[in-house]
Amino acid sequence: MKALEYTLVPTLALVAGAILAVFKRPAANFTSTMQHLAAGLIFAATAIEILPQVTHLADPAATLYGGALGVACMLGLKSIEARFSGPVILLTTVAIDILLDGLVLGLAFITGSKAGILLSIALTLEVLFIGITLTAKLNTAATRRLRTIATVSALALLLPVGTLAAIPIATLPPFYIAGFLTFGVMALLFLVTEELLVEAHETPDTSFASAMFFVGFLALLTIEEILV
């Protein structure tokens, strides 16, 4: 249940991003800078907390199967985004993305509370910009602002749903836990390399924006050491 409590923070951040974008979307340079920061935070949480648990379980078969499934799911999601367009496809792919974020957060709590807390910090910033980006792509005319916010808020509920789905996984044998954790690692690395950084680079890079990736990494590493 502790995982659900921490899931509330990124859930509210997603809704906040929608509300912000409806009334005033942040400048492109600011968004790019924050996306670099979010990428650094998520990369750090993956490398520091989740990946060591995978190597600790030391099951090559589970790692291979879980990793392959993770890559296949992420590439499949990317393929759908590339081939189709329109609000329904957009909402569907974002819904899957959010559900996976919730699942990965729940998996992080399987490895320990500290891992879950660190990842919830990282995902909060990430989903904030999902809310901003999604709302900007939907129709945000004055008569539809409330509908847009309600739609994004409904999608935000998929975060705790995904976290709940991870709870039974904690009761499985180590082989399956290792597989699911590897799946989570692949999903997070895809999020960093193929979503956050790709979107961030749509705006011309600045040295400050690029540096924020490393600021995010070092910040989470420092927090992790403080929590030891």
Q: What is the mean pLDDT of residues 114-132?
A: 85
14-67 pLDDT, tens digit per residue, is 999 888 888 887 788 888 888 899 899 889 888 887 888 888 877 889 999 999
Better-predicted residue by pLDDT, 67 or 4: 67
pLDDT for 214 equals 95
Residue from 57, 43, 42 nearest 111 by CA: 57
* 52 falls within a domain: yes
* 176 falls within a domain: yes
* 146 falls within a domain: yes
* 23 falls within a domain: no
Residue 221 CA to its chain's centroid (Å): 18
Q: Which long-range contacts (CB under 8 A, 24 or more apart) does 66-72 make?
A: 66/178, 66/179, 66/180, 66/181, 66/182, 66/183, 66/186, 67/182, 67/183, 67/185, 67/186, 69/179, 69/183, 70/182, 70/183, 70/184, 70/185, 70/186, 70/187, 70/190, 71/186, 71/190
pLDDT at residue 101 above 80? yes
pLDDT for 117 equals 85
pLDDT at residue 143 above 60? no
* 117 falls within a domain: yes
pLDDT at residue 134 above 60? yes
Q: What angle do CA 124, 71, 36 make, to 5 degrees?
A: 35
% of the chain exceeding 70 in pLDDT = 96
Residue 127 phi, psi (nearest 5): -70, -25
pLDDT for 135 equals 83
- Is residue 228 very low, low, confident or very high in pLDDT (cuts 50, 70, 90)? low
pLDDT for 145 equals 79
Residue from 10, 37, 57 nearest 163 by CA: 10
Sequence letter at residue 134: L
Q: What is the mean pLDDT of residues 163-182?
A: 87
When the pLDDT of each residue in the chain is averaged and rounded to a whole number, the result is: 85
Sequence letter at residue 203: T
pLDDT for 159 equals 92
Number of domains in the chain: 1
Residues 6+ apart with CB under 8 A from 94: 130, 134, 155
- Tokens 């792919």 belong to residue: 93
* 170 falls within a domain: yes
Q: 113-137 and 145-156 helices cross at what angle (nearest 10)?
A: 150
- Report the C-alpha gap between 211 and 209 in whole angstroms: 5
pLDDT for 71 equals 92
Q: 207-227 and 28-45 helices cross at what angle (nearest 10)?
A: 40
pLDDT for 139 equals 61
Q: What is the pTM of this model?
A: 0.82
* 129 falls within a domain: yes
pLDDT at residue 89 above 70? yes
Which residue range(s) make up the domain with 210?
2-16+29-227
* 22 falls within a domain: no
pLDDT for 154 equals 92
